[in-house]
Structure 1
Amino acid sequence: MKMLTKFTGGPLATGTFTLLALIAFAGNSVLCRLALADDSIDPASFTVIRLLSGAIILALIILVNRRPQISGQTGSWTGAAMLFVYAVGFSYAYVSLDTGVGALILFGAVQLTMILTGLATGNKIRHPEWAGLILAFAGFVYLIQPRLTVPESAAGVAMMTLAGIAWGCYSLKGRGSLGAINDTAYNFFRTIPFVLVLALVTLDGAYWSQTGLLLAVASGAVTSGIGYALWYIALRNLSVTVAAVGQLSVPVIAAVGGVIFAGELITMRMSLAAVLVLGGIFIVVMSRYRHARMVAREGS
């Protein structure tokens, strides 16, 4: 991690960090579902261990880097609060929602939060970008459609919606990060007071198995702590629209992971959905690229 921030300016580096972060998000979803769906651990304990594990691994990375604390690179209480709300909402929602419904609500809330906030702050979305966004979202819905059921838990819907809004806000906050690793680390550190309160309030209902504990640690240390640092590195060079629509590829990446690591079959639905999602993302990225080149030519 020591060398990461030295090579973050070019498109290849940005694309690499974005892909790694999205892979981490896909892995995180898998770990969360494995732990919570099998009742290996309760949602509160999973959240507590996840955030504490992320804080610990990021503290170790900072110590190894031996970089001094720099003003403006110590996260924020707003970022920490959004991170905590996302983690809690995600954990509790997946206990009562099916995977497909949960993914639709989560990513729908993330898209709306980031895009509407971007529009409100002057981020213009051109017609090709709208087309790409709609195409990618259509592919995402098509992929998860067989797993969609009418949600029976209004509380679960509310919690997942809140989680999506919080993650959208956390991502928007990261676009202004001056030091991705430090900011991510201090955001995790700042969640510790919230984590301690959650642990105390839910202590009577806490339970976990060895499997649940290991899954929570892996989720916190690897796919959350390191994954979110990579996301903050990438966000500095991503537009709001690209950052929002890019996250629709997470279910596709998870499906590919299932083929590679779990021996699942490649289906026609998976293939078509991948083409739609990745094609939509490509349209958005190329539209941004062409616009940037046009602006550069006009300015020269």
Structure 2
Amino acid sequence: MRLGAATGALILFGCVQAALLLAARWHGEPAGGARLAGAVIALGGLGALLLPGASAPALPPALLMAGAGLAWAGYTLAGRGSADALADSARNFALGSLPALVCWLAAGPVEAAPAGVACALASGALASGLGYAAWYAALPALGTAAAGTAQLSVPVITALGGLALGEPLAPRTLACGAVVLTGVALALRAPARR
């Protein structure tokens, strides 16, 4: 609530990208010039997309968002060895629901419309769960650095998904999205150099 969406997204995706690039280097994964160039291009496109709406953040929410980015990177690293993406994602969601349930119960009585609960379950448990399962299934084919760069496409995919909700797609969003996707494609298609 104390951090704008654009600023939060820049912090989140910047931390995911940085953490996965560092993890790739730590584990000796080779990084070719084209892969690094693709990552820089994609991150630059994301910055151009989000910076006009970004503002200087307060430190506590910025640190929380950075922590979320590092957690997402950790989740990605953990999923690289997933043998059963759907089962692993279901287990992760079940385990993650326990602290959420405690927080919900601690909040006291909350009014919830049945339609709102159904939408939350459909988007949170079903759509997100299947999305994470698909991500875990794709991870073994990606290197760590490539996985980080691929995640930079999420805001672009989200913007395209907004079309289904009747949200307009501004020319700047199209141009920046094309830059992000070009960088992601370059990073994913480039062979890793040894």
> For 1:121-150, what per-residue CA distance to the aligned partner results, in whole angstroms no more than 9, with x for missing partners?
111211111111000000011111221112
> Aligned residue for 1:137?
43
Cα distance in structure 2, aligned partners of 1:277 and 1:178: 30
Q: Are 1:255 and 2:159 an aligned pair?
A: yes
> Aligned residue for 2:180?
277
CA contact (8 A) 1:259 1:266 kept: no
Q: Are 1:183 and 2:88 an aligned pair?
A: yes
Cα distance in structure 1, aligned partners of 2:115 and 2:49: 29
Q: Are 1:125 and 2:28 an aligned pair?
A: no
- 1:186 maps to amino acid: R
> For 1:207-260, what per-residue CA distance to the aligned partner results, in whole angstroms no more than 9, with x for missing partners?
544564334212222222111111111111111122111111111112222334
Cα distance in structure 1, aligned partners of 2:38 and 2:174: 18
Cα distance in structure 2, aligned partners of 1:114 and 1:175: 12
Aligned pairs (5 A) from 1:53-202: 95-151=1-57, 153-200=58-105, 202=106
Cα distance in structure 2, aligned partners of 1:129 and 1:203: 46
Say which of 128, 136, 144 aligns to 1:232.
136
> Aligned residue for 1:87?
none
Structure having greater relative contact order (Cα 8 Å, sep ≥ 6): 2
Q: Are 1:223 and 2:127 an aligned pair?
A: yes
Unaligned runs of 5+ in 1: 1-94, 296-300
Cα distance in structure 2, aligned partners of 1:264 and 1:127: 36
Decide whether aligned partners of structure 1 residues 162 and 191 sit closer, same or farther in structure 2, where only a CA change above 3 A counts. Answer: same
SS at match of 1:245: helix
Decide whether aligned partners of structure 1 residues 132 and 189 sit closer, same or farther in structure 2, where only a CA change above 3 A counts. Answer: same
- 1:105 maps to amino acid: I
Deviates more, 1:218-227 or 1:206-215: 206-215
Deviates more, 1:278-287 or 1:187-196: 187-196
Unaligned runs of 5+ in 2: none
Decide whether aligned partners of structure 1 residues 199 and 260 sit closer, same or farther in structure 2, where only a CA change above 3 A counts. Answer: closer
1:96 Cα offset (Å): 2.1
Q: CA RMSD in A?
A: 2.2
Cα distance in structure 2, aligned partners of 1:97 and 1:198: 21
Whichever of the two has the greater Rg, that structure is 1
Cα distance in structure 2, aligned partners of 1:159 and 1:208: 27
Cα distance in structure 1, aligned partners of 2:131 and 2:139: 12
Decide whether aligned partners of structure 1 residues 265 and 281 sit closer, same or farther in structure 2, where only a CA change above 3 A counts. Answer: closer
> For 1:138-165, what per-residue CA distance to the aligned partner results, in whole angstroms no more than 9, with x for missing partners?
00111112211122x4322122111111
CA contact (8 A) 2:46 2:176 kept: yes
